[in-house]
């Protein structure tokens, strides 16, 4: 299998590419961002200022940890950090195994930063810097096929850009206080293989 990283293949995008036998990155690719992040916010002080006191009825003491309506205790922070450390360890181990790079070397550069295609190649994260056509040629060679047809799938109603397309104008964002949490991080804490600049 050949993976072609064409634009941003950072964090979870790179994680998926690790399943390939060969990884080709476009010259303008941004990749890396190796790590795990959990994002939440604490609106407790803001809610107090406007006289709102959220209540949680829960089955266990930790059921609402990470809630945007209160801060984290030291114990809760340690629990989340433990999960993040485990997920990060899995990511690092997978890179070490699939890319044949010693774990301690992976840990040295897997601090969340992003890399250009050439930097990623120099680190051993990708095999080649090239374009989609080269990735298709490599896949044809590996499969011993004289010809191949590239099929690109799109979700229904997704914007499909091409060289004649204009830039789509995004809808203006008008967040309300209730939408702020989901706008920034989604509905509650999540562990993400995500590049979040």
Q: Which tokens sit at 145? A: 């096929």
DSSP run (H or E) holding 40: none
Does residue 11 carry a catalytic annotation?
yes
* List 63, 73, 97, 182, catalytic entry: 63
Residues belonging to the chain:
197
Structure tokens that stand for 75 in this block: 């114990």
Q: What is the DSSP string of 73-141?
A: PHHHHHHHHHHHHHHHHHHHHHHHHHHT--HHHHHHH-SS-EEEHHHHHHHTS-SEE--HHHHHHHHHH
Q: What is the DSSP code (8-state) at residue 183?
A: H
- Whether 121 is catalytic: no
Q: Which of 2, 22, 23, 19 is nearest to 139 (CA)?
A: 2
130: nearest Cα among 44, 38, 28, 39: 28
Catalytic residue among 11, 33, 67, 181: 11
Structure tokens at 177: 């206080």
Residue 112 neighbours by CB distance under 10 Å:
15
Kindly list the catalytic residues: 11, 63
């Amino acid at each position: 299998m050949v993976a072609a990283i064409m634009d941003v293949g950072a964090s979870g995008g790179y994680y998926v590419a690790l399943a390939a036998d060969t990884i080709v990155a476009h010259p303008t690719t941004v990749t890396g961002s190796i790590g795990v992040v959990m994002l939440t916010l604490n609106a407790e002080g803001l809610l107090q200022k406007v006289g709102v006191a959220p209540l949680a009825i829960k089955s266990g003491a930790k059921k609402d940890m990470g809630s945007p309506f209160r801060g984290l205790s030291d114990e809760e922070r340690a629990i989340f950090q433990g999960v993040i450390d485990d997920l990060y360890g899995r990511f690092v181990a997978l890179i070490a195994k699939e890319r044949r790079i010693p774990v301690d070397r992976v840990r040295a550069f897997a601090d969340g930063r992003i890399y250009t295609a050439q930097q990623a190649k120099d680190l051993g994260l990708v095999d080649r810097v090239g374009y989609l056509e080269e990735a298709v040629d490599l896949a044809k060679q590996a499969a011993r096929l004289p010809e191949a047809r590239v099929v690109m799938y799109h979700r229904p109603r997704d914007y499909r850009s091409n060289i004649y397309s204009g830039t789509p104008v995004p809808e203006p964002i008008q967040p309300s206080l209730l939408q702020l949490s989901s706008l920034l991080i989604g509905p509650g804490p999540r562990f993400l293989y995500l590049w979040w600049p």
